[in-house]
Amino acid sequence: MIEDRRIELQPGLVFDVSVAGAPDSPLVLMLHGFAVSRHLYDAQVPALGAAGFLAVAPNQRGYSIGARPDPAQFANYDIELLIGDALALASAVGHGDRRFHLVGHDWGGSLAWDIAARWPDRLASLTMLSRPHPAAFARALAEDPEQPQRSKHHKAFQDPGAASVLLENDAEWIRTRHAANGVPAGASANHLAVLGSPPAMEAALAWYRARGKVYREIGPVTVPTLYIWGDADDTVGRMAAESTADFVDAPYRFEVLAGVGHYAADQMPDRVAALMIDHLRQHSA
Which range has the worst mean pLDDT, 40-54, 77-91, 96-110, 141-155? Answer: 141-155
Strands 123-129 and 252-257: unpaired
pLDDT at 213: 62
**In sequence order, which residues have a C-beta less than 8 Å from that of residue 231 and are 6 or more positions away?**
238, 256, 257, 258, 259, 260
pLDDT band at 13 (very low <50, low <70, confident <90, very high): very high
Please write the tens of the pLDDT for every residue from 263-279. Answer: 999 999 999 999 999 99
Contact 132, 240 (CB under 8 A): yes
| pLDDT tens digits, one per residue of 36-84 | 999 999 999 999 999 999 999 999 999 999 999 999 999 999 999 999 9
pLDDT tens for each residue of 114-124: 999 999 999 99
Report phi then psi at 98, rounded to 5: -70, 155
Label residue 134 exposed, middle or buried (CB < 10 Å: 0-12, 13-18, 19+).
buried
Q: How far apart are the first and last CA of the chain?
A: 23
Between CA 227 and CA 180 the distance in angstroms is 22
CA 24, 30, 36, 42 torsion-angle sign: negative
CB atoms within 10 A of CB 44: 28
User: 27-31 and 100-105: which strand pairing?
Assistant: parallel
State how beta strands 225-230 and 252-257 pair. parallel
pTM, rounded to two decimals: 0.96
The confidence band for 94, taking pLDDT boundaries of 50, 70 and 90, is: confident
Average pLDDT, the chain: 94
pLDDT at 96: 82
SS3 54: strand
Q: What pLDDT sits at residue 212? A: 67
Q: From 3.40.50.1820, 3.40.50.1980, 3.90.76.10, 3.90.340.10, which CATH number describes the 3-282 domain?
A: 3.40.50.1820
Query: Using CA atoms, how far apart are residues 262 and 280, in angstroms rounded to an integer?
Result: 22
CA angle 121, 137, 219 (to 5 degrees): 30
